[in-house]
Chains A and B, each alone.
Chain A
Amino acid sequence: MLSKIWFDRRLRGWCLQALLIAMVVGGLGWLAWNAQANLARRGITSGFGFLEQAARFPISESLLAYDTSDSFGHAFLVGITNTLFVSVLVILFSTVLGLGLALARRSKHPLVSGSATVYLEVIRNTPLVVQLLFWYAMLTVALPSARQALSPLPGVFLSVRGLYFPKLVLSGEVLWFWVAVAVSLLMVIAAVMLRPMLKLRHGMRFPLVRSALAAAVVLVGVAAWVGGVGASLDVPALRGLNYTGGSTYTPEFTALLIGLVFYSTAFSGEIIRSGIDAVPGGQWEAGSSLGIRRWHLLRLIVFPQALRIILPPMTSQYLSIIKNSTLALAVGYPDLSFVVATTINQTGQAIEGILILMGVFLTISLTVSVLMNFYNRRLALVQR
Chain B
Amino acid sequence: MTHAYLATQPPQALPPTTNTVTLWHRLFGDAITAIATVATLALLAVALGKTINWGVLHAVWPDGDAAACRAASGACWAFLSEKLRQILFGIYPPGEQWRPALTSVILLVLGAASLPPVCWGKRLVLAWFVGIVTVLLLMRGGVLGLAGVPTAAWGGLPVTLLLAVFALGAGFPLGILLALGRRAEMPVPRMLSIGVIEIIRGLPLVSLLFVASILLPLMLPDGMSIDGLLRAGAALTVFSAAYLAEVVRGGLQSLPRGQGEASRALGLSWWMMTRLVVLPQALRSVLAPLTNTAIVMIKNTSLVLIVGLFDLLSSGRAALADPAWPTPYVETYCFIAAIYFAICFSLSRYSMWLEARYSQHRSH
The answer to whether any beta carbons of A and B sit under 8 Å apart in the complex is yes
> Does B6 reach chain A (CB closer than 8 Å)?
no
Stretch among A72-80, A137-145, A233-241 lining the B interface:
A137-145
CA distance A49 to B289 in the complex (A): 46
Contacts of B187 in A (CB 8 A): 17
Is there contact, CB below 8 Å, between A126 and B337?
A: yes
> A106-146 toward B: CB 8 Å interface, digit per residue (1/0)?
00111110010000011011111111011001100110000
> Does B341 reach chain A (CB closer than 8 Å)?
yes
A137-B333 contact, Cβ under 8 Å, with A327-B206, A354-B207, A366-B202: yes
* Whole-angstrom distance between the Cβ of A147 and the nearest chain B Cβ: 19
> Does A377 reach chain B (CB closer than 8 Å)?
no
Is there contact, CB below 8 Å, between B186 and A16?
A: yes
A109-B26 contact, Cβ under 8 Å, with A125-B344, A129-B305, A330-B306: yes
Q: Quick one: closest A residue to B23, CB to CB?
A: A110
> Does B134 reach chain A (CB closer than 8 Å)?
no
CA distance A327 to B303 in the complex (A): 8
CA distance A357 to B207 in the complex (A): 7
> Does B61 reach chain A (CB closer than 8 Å)?
no
* Whole-angstrom distance between the Cβ of B322 and the nearest chain A Cβ: 15
CA distance A383 to B29 in the complex (A): 38
Contacts of A327 in B (CB 8 A): 206, 303, 306
* Most chain B beta carbons < 10 A, residue from A111, A141, A337, A357: A111
A323-B205 contact, Cβ under 8 Å, with A41-B222, A125-B348: yes
CA distance A86 to B189 in the complex (A): 38
> A344-384 toward B: CB 8 Å interface, digit per residue (1/0)?
10000011001001100110011000000000000000000
> Does A35 reach chain B (CB closer than 8 Å)?
yes
Q: Quick one: closest A residue to B295, CB to CB?
A: A125
Is there contact, CB below 8 Å, between B205 and A125?
A: no
Is there contact, CB below 8 Å, between B333 and A125?
A: no
Is there contact, CB below 8 Å, between A141 and B299?
A: no
Q: Quick one: closest B residue to A364, CB to CB?
A: B202
CA distance A137 to B306 in the complex (A): 17
Is there contact, CB below 8 Å, between A130 and B26?
A: no
Is there contact, CB below 8 Å, between B341 and A125?
A: yes
Contact size class for B?
35 or more
Is there contact, CB below 8 Å, between A358 and B192?
A: no
> Does B293 reach chain A (CB closer than 8 Å)?
no
> Does A39 reach chain B (CB closer than 8 Å)?
yes
> Does A197 reach chain B (CB closer than 8 Å)?
no
> Does B215 reach chain A (CB closer than 8 Å)?
yes
Contact size class for A?
35 or more
Q: Quick one: closest A residue to B221, CB to CB?
A: A34
> Does B230 reach chain A (CB closer than 8 Å)?
no
Q: Quick one: closest A residue to B224, CB to CB?
A: A34
* Whole-angstrom distance between the Cβ of A271 and the nearest chain B Cβ: 13
> Does A222 reach chain B (CB closer than 8 Å)?
no
Q: Quick one: closest B residue to A322, CB to CB?
A: B204
Q: Quick one: closest B residue to A323, CB to CB?
A: B204
CA distance A21 to B207 in the complex (A): 26
Is there contact, CB below 8 Å, between B345 and A115?
A: no
> Does A13 reach chain B (CB closer than 8 Å)?
yes
Tell me which residues from 221 to 247 in chain B have a Cβ below 8 Å from any Cβ of chain A.
221-222
Cβ 8 A contact of B207, one of A16, A112, A319, A361: A361
> Does B313 reach chain A (CB closer than 8 Å)?
yes
Q: Quick one: closest B residue to A14, CB to CB?
A: B186
* Whole-angstrom distance between the Cβ of A365 and the nearest chain B Cβ: 4
Is there contact, CB below 8 Å, between A109 and B33?
A: yes
Contacts of B305 in A (CB 8 A): 129, 330
Cβ 8 A contact of A130, one of B27, B33, B206, B302: B302
> Does A38 reach chain B (CB closer than 8 Å)?
yes
* Whole-angstrom distance between the Cβ of B99 and the nearest chain A Cβ: 25
Contacts of B144 in A (CB 8 A): none
* Whole-angstrom distance between the Cβ of B362 and the nearest chain A Cβ: 21
> B319-330 toward A: CB 8 Å interface, digit per residue (1/0)?
000000001011
Contacts of B317 in A (CB 8 A): 133
Stretch among B36-44, B102-110, B165-173, B257-265 lining the A interface:
B36-44
> Does B67 reach chain A (CB closer than 8 Å)?
no
A126-B344 contact, Cβ under 8 Å, with A35-B219, A41-B222: yes
> Does A1 reach chain B (CB closer than 8 Å)?
no
CA distance A77 to B18 in the complex (A): 68
Is there contact, CB below 8 Å, between A337 and B222?
A: no
Is there contact, CB below 8 Å, between A326 and B206?
A: yes
> B197-219 toward A: CB 8 Å interface, digit per residue (1/0)?
00101111111001100110011
> Does A329 reach chain B (CB closer than 8 Å)?
yes
> Does A290 reach chain B (CB closer than 8 Å)?
no
Q: Quick one: closest A residue to B317, CB to CB?
A: A133
CA distance A35 to B33 in the complex (A): 66
CA distance A142 to B201 in the complex (A): 37
* Whole-angstrom distance between the Cβ of B40 and the nearest chain A Cβ: 4
Contacts of B192 in A (CB 8 A): 20, 24
> Does A71 reach chain B (CB closer than 8 Å)?
no
Is there contact, CB below 8 Å, between B215 and A351?
A: yes
> Does B188 reach chain A (CB closer than 8 Å)?
yes
Q: Quick one: closest B residue to A28, CB to CB?
A: B219
Is there contact, CB below 8 Å, between A319 and B202?
A: yes
Contacts of A24 in B (CB 8 A): 192
Contacts of A121 in B (CB 8 A): 345, 348
Cβ 8 A contact of B303, one of A41, A115, A129: A129
CA distance A302 to B306 in the complex (A): 43
**Other A-B pairs, 15, CB within 8 Å; known A134-B329, A141-B329, A362-B202:** A35-B215, A41-B222, A121-B348, A125-B344, A127-B299, A127-B302, A127-B303, A130-B302, A130-B313, A130-B337, A329-B206, A350-B215, A354-B215, A357-B210, A361-B203
* Nearest 3 A/B pairs, CB to CB: A137-B329, A365-B202, A125-B344
Query: Which A residues lie at the B interface, using CB under 8 A?
Result: 13, 16-17, 20-21, 24, 31-32, 34-35, 37-39, 41, 108-112, 115, 121-122, 124-131, 133-134, 137-138, 141-142, 319, 323-324, 326-327, 329-330, 337, 340-341, 344, 350-351, 354, 357-358, 361-362, 365-366
| Sampled A-B contacts (10; CB under 8 Å) | A17-B189, A111-B27, A125-B341, A126-B337, A127-B340, A130-B333, A134-B333, A340-B210, A350-B214, A357-B207
